[in-house]
Chains A and B, each alone.
Chain A
Amino acid sequence: MTTATATEKAPATDSGSILLTLMKARTFIALFAVIVFFSIFAPNFLSTANIILMSKHVALNAFLAMGMTFVIITGGIDLSVGSIVGLCGMVAGGLILNGIDLQFGYTMYFNVVEVCLITLFVGVVIGAVNGLLITKLNVAPFIATLGTLYVARGFALLSSDGQTFPNLVGKEELATTGFGFLGSGRIIGLPVSIWILIVVALAAAYVAKYVPIGRQIFAVGGNERAARMSGIRVDRVKMFVYMFSGFCAAIVGIIISSELMASHPATGNSFELNAIAAAVLGGTSMSGGRGTIGGTIIGAFVIGILSDGLVMMGVSSFWQMVIKGIVIIVAVVVDQAQRRLQQQVTLMQLAKKG
């Protein structure tokens, strides 16, 4: 209702506002465009099996991108998520396969729920390390998370000497079975990982809109100094976003190991870049203060559909990279253009008011 009255008041800027609305909806338009394009040119694109397969691929990136979105909104960046995926996968696989050796002849095994909780905890702890480096030791987010990227990857490789933990079926007598459910199970026809994505995405969107910490994330990214002056505990907010990012990465680690029923230490290599791309495509501003969970999810879908669709069309993977890069650049250029147009429209309205 409010937007309606606003447009009525300013009929002169109509052409500007229409363009502005189009630009604001650009991620939606892009998603629509890729879907239409591939349903025409890629065979079997719209089959149920393919859609479910694609959404499973997208879900992995979407988890990371959600964590990344909060981080970027505060004005930071988290390069370590790919490595956290790898390490958390190894933690989950190691716990199921080998348990924890208690050094005096006993080995402790955990059931699948406990394994998942421990793995999530590991992800959160790495996120907390990132947060502490950034807030307490004043390391730039880029450098701090670049450091943890290497450290986490190193530990993942050390955990198995670079080997894969194979065949994570578990043993009945140790109650470690059932790990595969997360990756390949279904509830009411939808893969479990999609259900988890829906739950986490709804929670994240709720936090962004209706919980004080969400508002504070935007405030810190929008103007950190003003946020501090308003009594917001900026350090606490930053800790939260990096811990949440680590949490999301841990979820991905668990799901990938569960899908493959194996953990490989190199899993998740360069996932962080896809996550950043999805967030940016979804309208998250790298300078902080702007972004939405919904936009990011759509961004993840655009990137995911684009790469899967191109594969189905038989486009070479080298060309895929070129196309993906161009899409990201165009997204940011449009974003900037929109920002400028928006400013012009507001200034004009102000000037008219006097």
Chain B
Amino acid sequence: MALIDTHDTILKLDDVTKVYSGIVAVKHASLELKRGAVNVLVGENGAGKSTLMRMIAGVEKPSLGRILLEGKEVEFNSPADAQKHGIGMVFQELNLFGNLSVAENIFSTREITRGLRGIDHKAQVQKANVFLDKLDAGISAETMVEDLPIGQQQLVEIAKAISLDTRILILDEPTSALSAAEVDILFKVINELKAQGVAIVYISHRLEELMRIGDYITVLRDGQITGQALVNDIDTKWIVRSMIGSDAKDFAKSVDHKLGAEAFRAEDICLPRRTGGLAVDHLSISVKAGEVLGIYGLMGAGRSEFFECIIGQHAHSTGRIFIAGEEIVARDTSTRIRKGLALIPEDRQREGLVQVLSIASNLTLASLEKFVKFGFHIAGARERSAVKDAISNLSIKAPNPDFEVTSMSGGNQQKVVIGKALMTNPKVLLMDEPSRGIDVGAKADVFRTMRRLAGEGLAILFSTSDLEEVMALSDRIAVMSNGRITTILDRADATEELIVKAASEGHKSAEQKSIRETA
């Protein structure tokens, strides 16, 4: 595809590859960033967008390939290195010091000093206020960052990046926590920076935003670049096609089976957020035995928090849950697992696996009591045969169950987490983004397993931010936004438009509420 070049290239990634333990995040990607333009990057979760940008920002080093800045090969050993070359990045997860003031955050590592008399706080506050005013943020530079709501923290992060006089500014999902008005201001600032010749890299899931602000677009799928074009030449359909690819994903065909009685019900689940408001907002839902309920939502919609409330990870959550009509009063995870709940957490590395243990030990971790003889002795033979069954049932490609679990690929690690949950013989399975960060083949295996389990009468709730996935796998689709379920659709009635619209509904009504409150 030939691009009409009106802008020259400032930075070029030449055939870069990045390998983490267990997964290839970026495969032979080449990318050019244009000066004075907004370079948009899209792709599904785990496509490798963030990894690509982290290499440009000096957070990660490419395993293979070169980075060329203005034609010269460079190597960034640290984010500070990249900053020296004029590259600034606003991360998806905020990197601010909550215990310091806004001004101190903006000027951290390059404090304005008065020689031996230390930091000139007054000058810092003054300068910080200039940047904040440019963003119309309405934040005082002397406030503690931890006292700000998340949207304003994001603005602080952006102000910090702008203050660096960057030539390349990377924004990783900058609008995920911003209101519509704040997004407009951000876009105004982006246009100003563009006019000054700054190369902007813009990562987002919100397609309409990309069409509005972008100049060049690059689409990533499974770590590879699948499309590059001028935004003017394309439409959202093209983006979706490049994101999902022509080789349609191998979704397991749904086997027709009768749904049973109600297996699980949650009533009025509430979870307060630390920064105020509710992360899970009076959420009620019910699932039948043998039913697969897909929960669709954007990042920060409260899906993970909802699952964590159900499994008993949040002591201060409220609401009631029922399994097969019986209320579960116990609030601790151990009892809830014993009563038939199981959770496959979103973050496999942080919450799913014990990395130092073997594949076998990870599999049996939640169900050790099943293998115990005389009340204390783990029967090795029984454990081994159960591990063997799990490995063959879930088609885990494990060379040897005694190897460390991190020696396998991401997809197989995910299957181990699923196997661990299944070994507790659950009645209700909660799966938080079960296909995140695993390859296509493993995805198909996971989907097939989900279907098979549903056929066996298990009630499954799974969350995803992949439209195609939620449409293909669910019997019913619940859309979450801003902590609430905005709509529940039967598979037959669901269309992509309906789902996408519902996914941002929670924010709209919340905004309207806040506008009304301020008015």
Contacts and interface: CB of A to CB of B under 8 A. Distances in A.
A binds B: yes
Interface of A: 2, 6, 210-212, 215-216, 218-219, 221-223, 225-233, 289-290, 343, 346-347, 349-351, 353
A138 to B, nearest CB: 13
Interface stretch (B130-138, B159-167, B347-355, B487-495): B347-355
A35 B108 CA distance: 54
A222 B355 contact: yes
Interface in B388-405: 399-400, 402, 404
A219 B313 contact: no
Interface centre among A215, A218, A353 (most CB of B within 10 A): A215
A225 B350 contact: yes
Given A231-B333, A231-B338, A347-B19, A2 B400 contact: yes
A225 B378 contact: no
Given A210-B377, A226-B354, A216 B368 contact: yes
B139 interface: no
B471 interface: no
Contact of B378 (A215, A226, A289, A351): A215
7 contacts: A215-B361, A215-B365, A221-B356, A230-B366, A289-B355, A290-B356, A353-B409
Contact of A232 (B334, B352, B353, B355): B334
Interface residues of B, number: 40
B478 to A, nearest CB: 23
A230 B407 contact: no
Interface string B62-77: 0000000000000000
B368 A228 contact: no
B326 interface: no
The majority secondary structure among interface residues of chain B is mixed
B424 interface: yes
B409 A223 contact: no
Contacts of A211: 376-378
A350 B409 contact: yes
B88 interface: no
A351 B19 contact: yes
A229 B343 contact: yes
Contacts of B399: 6
The majority secondary structure among interface residues of chain A is helix
A218 B356 contact: yes
Nearest to B408: A350
A346 B409 CA distance: 11
Interface of B: 19, 21-22, 311, 313, 332-334, 336-338, 343, 345, 350-357, 361, 365-366, 368-369, 372, 376-378, 380, 399-400, 402, 404, 406-407, 409, 420, 424
Interface centre among A216, A226, A350 (most CB of B within 10 A): A226
A349 B378 CA distance: 32
Contacts of B332: 233
Given A211-B376, A346-B404, A351-B19, A228 B354 contact: no
A181 B368 CA distance: 41
Contacts of A216: 368
B432 to A, nearest CB: 11
Contacts of A212: 368-369, 372, 376, 378
A2 B359 CA distance: 14
Contacts of A350: 19, 21-22, 407, 409
Contacts of A346: 21, 404, 406-407
Contacts of A225: 350-351
Contact of A226 (B311, B334, B353): B353
A222 B404 CA distance: 12
B17 to A, nearest CB: 10
A222 B338 contact: no
In the A-B complex, list the 3 residue pairs whose CB atoms are closest, starting with the nearest.
A231-B337, A222-B354, A289-B356
A347 B21 contact: yes
A218 B333 contact: no
Contacts of A290: 356
Given A215-B361, A215-B368, A226-B350, 16 more contacts: A211-B376, A212-B369, A212-B372, A219-B365, A222-B355, A223-B353, A223-B354, A225-B350, A228-B333, A229-B352, A231-B336, A232-B334, A233-B334, A343-B21, A346-B404, A351-B19
A226 B333 contact: no
A226 B400 contact: no
A8 B352 CA distance: 32
Nearest to A290: B356
B275 to A, nearest CB: 21
Interface centre among B333, B365, B369 (most CB of A within 10 A): B365
Interface centre among A218, A229, A290, A346 (most CB of B within 10 A): A229
A222 B376 CA distance: 22
Nearest to B337: A231
Contacts of B337: 230-231
Contacts of B361: 215, 218-219
A346 B404 CA distance: 10
B354 A218 contact: yes
B379 to A, nearest CB: 9
Interface centre among A231, A347, A351 (most CB of B within 10 A): A231
Contact of A231 (B353, B378, B424): B424
Nearest to B424: A231
Contacts of A351: 19
A210 B364 CA distance: 13
A2 B399 CA distance: 10
Given A216-B368, A350-B407, A351-B19, A230 B355 contact: no
B270 to A, nearest CB: 21
Interface centre among A223, A226, A230, A346 (most CB of B within 10 A): A230
Nearest to B63: A351
B407 A223 contact: no
B338 A229 contact: no
B378 A219 contact: no
B506 to A, nearest CB: 27
